[in-house]
Amino acid sequence: MNYINDLKKIININSFTKNKEGVDKVGQIMSTWLKEIGFDETIYIREEIGNHQLFTTKRKENLKNILLLGHNDTVFPPNTFEEFTQDNNWVYGPGVCDMKGGNIVVVESLRNIYKENKNISNIDFLIVSDEESGSDDSKFVTLDIAKNYDYCFVFEAAGKDLEIVTGRKGVGTFTITIEGIAAHAGTSYIKGVDANLEASYKLQKLSQLTNLELGTTVNVGKIEGGIGANTISPKCQMIVEIRYTTNYERDRLLNSLNEIVETSYIKGSKSKIEGLIQRDVMEANKNQEVLIKKLEEISNCKILTEKRGGVSDANHVSSCGVTTLDGFGPYGDGDHTKKERALKSSFERRIEMMTKILSYYQK
């Protein structure tokens, strides 16, 4: 259990996404560990968030190019949840499973390989600093380098039975702004154009886009509008999230969103939409199946799989056509809460598995 002390060291440093100093401290520790086993580092310096880090090795032409992917940031602001603790079976603390624990699996596996082979080749490790806030900055780094790799292994937490992840929903967030006309609700009711009423029609149309059988959800998470009870609402704003499991559903949703926004259910109202797809869908595919069979041969164990509604940076790499598998971190639960924990035995099994897999791709 040599990993425990290293895990404790980085868990006890607060690395909330907006805490640049803390995120960079964790990054500096990761840099020290990886440089000790022969990795070079490229730092993507950022002013308001932590720096992104790409650790690289030399290339050999006959080997597959592999990208390992993690993040240093957590969701916990300073003085909220910072302490590392443990008992016989579990470790507890911010990031033990999401995903400093996953980063430790990477480091320990690479250390094991380095003991046998002092010249690790064709394996790179990208660690970003803003995954928990949507990777709005780092996604451009990820998308830029992804095309250089044959395979990508992502170290978000494993499933309960150590499942790896083959599919993740795509997600987009949009703001719909509705303009009406203000009027006195008592003396000039008919002169007003009610933006709130327009929003109510749009809300129903948006909700009808949900298709649970296909895994498609549309959630109007926030509505804000109006001035007061005696005034026809001149403005209303709706914040909408879409999640989907296929590219076809993404296109259906985007077309429907535009149609709903362009339609005025209340005469005289005007609407506009702003927003974007934050992470595109990671669809399960045949290339993953082939790779998983190979990984089972290499590791000499059955690899279970699952799909998840949540997103990760695996979505970005997968969208570039790279064969991508996620969930190679330890098993844990309670992530994003003060009950976050990870199972010690899952660290050991993951480190053993990844050591075998990465060692194989050195041949």
Check residue 193 and give its pLDDT: 98
What are the backbone angles phi and psi of residue 69, rounded to the nearest 5°?
-135, 130
Instruction: Identify whether the C-beta of residue 66 lies closer than 8 Å to the C-beta of residue 153.
Output: yes
DSSP character string of 228-242: -TTEE--EEEEEEEE
Check residue 196 and give its pLDDT: 98
pLDDT single digits (tens) 165-178: 999 999 999 999 99
Tell me the two tokens of residue 102: 């996953």
Is pLDDT of 83 > 80? Answer: yes
Mean pLDDT of the chain: 97
Check residue 2 and give its pLDDT: 81
pLDDT single digits (tens) 136-155: 999 999 999 999 999 999 99
Percentage of residues in the chain having pLDDT higher than 90: 98
pLDDT single digits (tens) 234-286: 999 999 999 999 999 999 999 999 999 999 999 999 999 999 999 999 999 99
Instruction: Identify whether the C-beta of residue 356 lies closer than 8 Å to the C-beta of residue 13.
Output: no
Is pLDDT of 1 > 80? Answer: no
19-35 mean pLDDT: 98
User: What is the residue whose two structure tokens read 């480091």?
Assistant: 107
Q: How far apart are the first and last CA of the chain?
A: 28
Tell me the two tokens of residue 186: 């008592």
| Residue 117 binned pLDDT confidence (cut-offs 50, 70, 90) | confident
Is pLDDT of 43 > 80? Answer: yes
Is pLDDT of 18 > 90? Answer: yes
pTM (two decimals) = 0.92
DSSP character string of 148-209: T-SEEEE-SPB-TT--EEEEE-EEEEEEEEEE-B-EETTT-GGG-B-HHHHHHHHHHHHHTT
Those residues whose C-beta lies under 8 Å from the C-beta of residue 76, and which sit 6 or more positions away, are: 14, 16, 82, 94
299-315 mean pLDDT: 96
Query: Pseudo-torsion of CA 194, 195, 198, 203, nearest 10°?
Result: -140
321-343 mean pLDDT: 97
Distance CA 303, CA 237 (A): 46
Is pLDDT of 232 > 90? Answer: yes
113-119 mean pLDDT: 90
| Residue 128 binned pLDDT confidence (cut-offs 50, 70, 90) | very high
107-127 mean pLDDT: 95
Map out the domains of the chain with their CATH numbers. Answer: 3-168+281-360 (3.40.630.10), 170-279 (3.30.70.360)
| Residue 134 binned pLDDT confidence (cut-offs 50, 70, 90) | very high
Check residue 118 and give its pLDDT: 84
